[in-house]
Copies of this chain bind each other. A is one copy, B any other.
Amino acid sequence: MCFVPDVLPLIPALKLKKTRTNSTLSDVAKAAGVSPSTASRALNGLAQKYRISESTERLVKQSAAQLGFRPSQVARSLRLQRSGLLGIVVPDLSNPFFSAIAREVTVAAGAEGFSAILADSDGSVEKERKLIEQLQARNVESLVVCPIGLEFDHLEEASQRGLPLVTVDRCQASSSLVQVTSDHLTGAKLAIELLIEQGHRRIGVLQGLEGTLPCELRLQGVREACDAAGIAFNPKWIAGDQFSEQSGYRSARKLLTESPDLTALFAMSTPNAFGAFRAANELGLSIPHDLSLLCFDDVAFVEFMQVPFTTIAQDVPELGRRAATLVTEHMQTGKSPRKKMHKIPVKLVPRASVGKVPSA
């Protein structure tokens, strides 16, 4: 069990600042010469229900406007036991993939009257745990998390407690969690099928964080596609350990050096592909002439690239939107969605980085 002061190194208590700057409901009530309850009802559109006289209602609203009254959500939350807050946790907000998801969720949540607390786990499970704790302490009503993807106990636990929670992208195979992720298996198959169709037989794979579902499923897709085509796939052609540019670079260099007969590379992320591109350049291999390159994730502004990448494009906005819909529905209906695993279709976008196999 976590420990309290640990969880929230919350701000030093400070001296209570007595500087009330906002007027309160009772100020409004006083100004209007009514009781706080009446003021509350008038301002919350319950005038009808409580048969508050029109004049009173107007009076209250006027006073509120005059005083610049802005109801305290904190007090409201405490009373109502609803914070109107939703938490988002991503591993890296500066990654366009995650910021796009964050954006969709934020906007969708806003449309339902929720505000989003955004947290960046910086790729660390430890931070992720802490953040999830913090967000729960802040009484978020639901959580959208793009997990690091290797440990899920803390997420399961939160979900078990009844907190509406959905994971996006790096999901888990066997889990009762509600999950939204792309159809990685099909995506990888499409990729490999294209390469095979172009005559490639020896295909290297630049993988991302090993053990994560996207990574595993894509590997499986690669194997299945090869099997289906009766092509032998050599496990030695797999390298890499992160979805990062560096990992792509290092593993591409490794593969291209150790197995110079590879004619194509399948990268699991755009950064991986960028790294591979750099490595290929350094090794004097031109794309797609000497080497074909294909990656998961689409990329913006391809048309300005030296060699536009052929990609398996994920529907990123849809990932975000779906996640938002799922949590809001959970909150509204009070029960967890039936369907746990939501697979979002991907599509192959052919561009210049894939060509026929050199010697063919």
- CB within 8 Å for A73 and B139 given contacts A96-B96, A134-B115: yes
- Chain B contacts of A232 at CB under 8 A? none
Q: Is A284 among interface residues, defined by CB-CB distance under 8 A?
A: no
Q: A322: shortest Cβ distance to chain B, in Å?
A: 17
Contact: B8 with A139, CB < 8 Å? no
Per the 8 Å Cβ criterion, residues 292-325 of A in contact with B are: 301, 303-307
**How many chain A residues have a CB neighbour from B under 8 Å?**
80
Q: Is A154 among interface residues, defined by CB-CB distance under 8 A?
A: no
Contact: B5 with A43, CB < 8 Å? yes
Q: Is A99 among interface residues, defined by CB-CB distance under 8 A?
A: yes
Q: A80: shortest Cβ distance to chain B, in Å?
A: 6
Which residue on chain B has the smallest CB distance to residue A273? B304
Contact residue among B16, B92, B99 (Cβ-Cβ distance under 8 Å from A93): B99
Q: Is A84 among interface residues, defined by CB-CB distance under 8 A?
A: yes
Which residue on chain B has the smallest CB distance to residue A98? B99
Contact residue among B93, B136, B278 (Cβ-Cβ distance under 8 Å from A103): B93
Interface residues of A (CB under 8 A from B): 1-5, 7-11, 13-14, 16-17, 19, 21, 43-45, 61, 64-66, 68-78, 80-85, 88, 92-94, 96, 99-100, 102-103, 106-107, 110, 112-120, 122, 133-139, 161-162, 274, 277-278, 301, 303-307
The list of the 8 closest CB pairs from A to B, nearest first, reads: A99-B99, A93-B103, A118-B118, A1-B65, A73-B138, A74-B77, A70-B137, A74-B78
